[in-house]
């Protein structure tokens, strides 16, 4: 799979994408992550990428002509709409979740556009497939949300994480059951006896029950969606 990130600040990704699971996935050729500097498509000798908003107001708005050129240059013309998606990080988008991560992980090419400054020309939405939000809060730009999406998608790709590990993770479909390790007792806090029993059937039942109980308490909305 290939993930292309359109951004004004490609250097922001150097640390997160050169460590841990994503680094190993890149080394194994499971995922290719590339960065497209939006400024390379800027207008004039100063490579202008933004301008003042029509109607007045503070801040600068990313230009539609610049972004459209960057998108078209990044697209793989050999891929169909089922194999390639262009998503825009923006507050108006549908909130990102694990189901969306699973959907994106089946693509051959995912293009992520990072907004910045005051926003982007509304007309850019005519050249994308989806607008995505990572939550009801404001960030400086779309770079950190793009990192979240790239990480959550990459870990779902076959070969990135050992088989079976993903089956019991949170949001698959409920919150994950509690985990414990040594020491068995710490300051009067003990490990549940069932986990020490050696009875795999009882342990499996306990984990399923705990997962459901925690989800009902903390995220009942996940159960309501089932």
DSSP state of 14: T
Would you say residue 117 has pLDDT above 70?
no
172/219 Cα distance (integer angstroms): 13
179/132 Cα distance (integer angstroms): 32
Q: Report the CATH number of the 165-224 domain.
A: 1.10.1270.20
- Which architecture does CATH list for 2-154? 3-Layer(aba) Sandwich (3.40)
Q: Tens of pLDDT along 20-52? A: 899 999 999 999 999 999 999 999 999 999 999
Any alpha helices (H) in 84-219, and if so which ranges? 98-105, 143-154, 200-218
Q: Where in the chain is the domain with CATH 3.40.1280.10?
A: 2-154
Q: Where in the chain is the domain with CATH 1.10.1270.20?
A: 165-224
219/197 Cα distance (integer angstroms): 30
The structure's pTM equals 0.85
Instruction: Find the range with the poorest average confidence among 92-96, 122-126, 220-224.
Output: 220-224
Q: Tens of pLDDT along 183-225? A: 999 999 999 999 999 999 999 999 999 999 999 999 898 887 6
Instruction: Find the range with the poorest average confidence among 16-30, 31-45, 98-112, 158-172.
Output: 158-172
Q: Percentage of the chain with pLDDT > 70? A: 94
For the chain, the average pLDDT equals 92
4/150 Cα distance (integer angstroms): 9
95/31 Cα distance (integer angstroms): 24
38 and 69 in contact (C-beta within 8 Å)? no
Q: Is 198 left (phi over 0), alpha (psi -120 to 50) or beta?
A: left
Q: 3-state DSSP call for residue 87?
A: strand
Would you say residue 13 has pLDDT above 90?
yes
pLDDT band at 124 (very low <50, low <70, confident <90, very high): very high
């Amino acid at each position: 799979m290939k993930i292309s990130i359109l951004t004004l600040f490609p250097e922001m990704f150097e640390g997160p994408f050169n460590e841990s699971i994503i680094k190993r996935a890149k080394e194994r050729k499971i995922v290719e992550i590339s960065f497209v500097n939006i400024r390379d498509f800027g207008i004039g000798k100063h490579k202008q990428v933004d301008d003042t908003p029509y109607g007045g107001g503070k801040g600068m708005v990313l230009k539609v002509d610049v972004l459209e050129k960057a998108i078209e240059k990044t697209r793989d013309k050999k891929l169909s709409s089922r194999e390639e998606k262009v998503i825009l990080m923006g507050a108006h988008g549908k909130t990102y979740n694990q189901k969306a991560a699973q959907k994106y992980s089946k693509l051959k090419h995912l293009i992520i556009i990072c907004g910045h400054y005051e926003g982007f020309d509304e007309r850019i939405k005519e050249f994308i497939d989806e607008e995505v939000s990572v939550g009801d809060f404001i960030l400086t730009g779309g770079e950190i949300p793009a990192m979240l999406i790239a990480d959550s998608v990459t870990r779902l790709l076959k070969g990135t994480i050992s088989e079976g590990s993903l089956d019991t993770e949170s949001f698959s479909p409920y919150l994950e059951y509690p985990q414990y390790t040594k020491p068995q007792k710490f300051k009067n806090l003990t490990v549940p006896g069932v986990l020490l029993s050696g009875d795999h059937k009882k342990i499996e039942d306990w984990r399923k029950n705990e997962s459901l109980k925690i989800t009902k308490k903390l995220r009942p909305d996940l159960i309501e969606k089932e």
